[in-house]
Amino acid sequence: MKNNSPSVQHTVVRNSTGISRLQFMGMSAAALCGLGLAPASLHAAAASSPHKLKIGISTLGFSEHTNASLAKELAGAGIRVVQLFFNQTDSKCWKYNNRTDVSALTPDRCKVIAATYRDAGVAIHSIGVYTNLIHPDEAERNANIEYFEAMMKIGDCMDVHAFVSESGHYHNPKEPEPNIQLHFQDAVWVQMVETAKKLGAIAEKHQSKVLLEPFYRGFFASAKRLRMFVEAVNSPAIRVLLDPANLIEINDLDEMFNQLGPFIDCLHAKDRKMHIERGVAAGKGDIDYHRFVTLASKLNPPVPLILEYVGQKDYQDAVAHLRRVMKEAGIAEE
């Protein structure tokens, strides 16, 4: 091929720093960073230095404990943060994919529960709500949004300002299965965006955030779909809780973090065998935990790893697994 390009001349070009092109090419990365001239990849590398990770636990699997006995148990195991579900013997006010009567959770009672954990040195990161946001009946959806706000008012009393939910699911057993599942129907996307915008506005009023959790058999069926949804809602109060075990049938770990990284406020640490629906405790499935904690440690700001699907009998094994993998990956525990 004929080369029609002009001959190269060794001209000296200087930028606003007074550095010539040849001097620039010979400078070290450190010097360039100091001048704010480093390539974006170098800045990214600096920003991705691993953070310490905080290990927490969901209280859902400890239904035989009171809040006081659970706080003491977890503190003794070195756990310093929980995701609180009202599922302990003295606060049974939670039901998955539904709503419950929370009238027993008076402001005074909420303050006592919060103090019980904090006095033991255990912070409450978030509250699990997990109501049904996708219900096709508008009155039911509105009632569930009101329930969500009731949980936010409880959070106000406890000084907790993050609330977790999946999309919810719905099937009427008296009707035949639709040709297209409810969560993939065209109108439901629009409906869910409107619902999340309402929820975001309520959360902002309470200076709180709603963390949405994906699951491959639900409305938030993939990392990309959840990322597109959060972008469509466009509310600073609508964020993400990533549970990799819920998406390994669809996405690999790098895809999950690449799609959702800027929106992640919390991580669930459980596990799942491929092609098996039921989740299991961390270390009992097919999640590459070394890669998981490595990617988690690069999130900025750092977020907690909340162990899930564990209870009194097996939580210490899951904690030990997570700590061992973190140590092998060179990631310190906060």
| Spans of all domains in the chain | 12-47, 50-328
CATH topology of domain 50-328: TIM Barrel (3.20.20)
In the structure encoding, which two tokens stand for residue 131, read together? 């109501």
Q: What is the pTM of this model?
A: 0.86
pLDDT of 260 reads 98
Q: Among 314, 298, 315, which residue's Cα sits nearest to residue 306?
A: 315
Report yes or no: 67 and 91 within 8 Å, Cβ to Cβ.
yes
pLDDT of 48 reads 56
HSE, CB side, 13 Å, CA atoms: give it for residue 55. 24
Alpha helices (H) in the chain, listed in sequence order = 21-26, 29-34, 40-47, 67-76, 107-119, 138-158, 186-205, 223-233, 253-260, 289-296, 315-328
pLDDT in tens, 203-235: 999 999 999 999 999 999 999 999 999 999 999
Query: 10 Å Cβ neighbour count for 204?
Result: 14
- Out of 26-35, 131-140, 205-214, pick the least confident: 26-35
pLDDT of 41 reads 39
pLDDT of 25 reads 40
- Out of 38-42, 101-105, 189-193, 258-262, pick the least confident: 38-42
pLDDT of 49 reads 77
Between 227 and 1, the higher pLDDT residue: 227
pLDDT at residue 33 tops 70: no
Using 50, 70 and 90 to split pLDDT, how confident is the model at 195? very high
Q: Measured between alpha carbons, how far is 169 from 276 in angstroms, rounded to an integer?
A: 19
pLDDT in tens, 87-113: 999 999 999 999 999 999 999 999 999
Report yes or no: 192 and 230 within 8 Å, Cβ to Cβ.
no
Instruction: For residue 210, give the 3-state DSSP assignment.
Output: strand
- Out of 7-11, 129-133, 292-296, 303-307, pick the least confident: 7-11
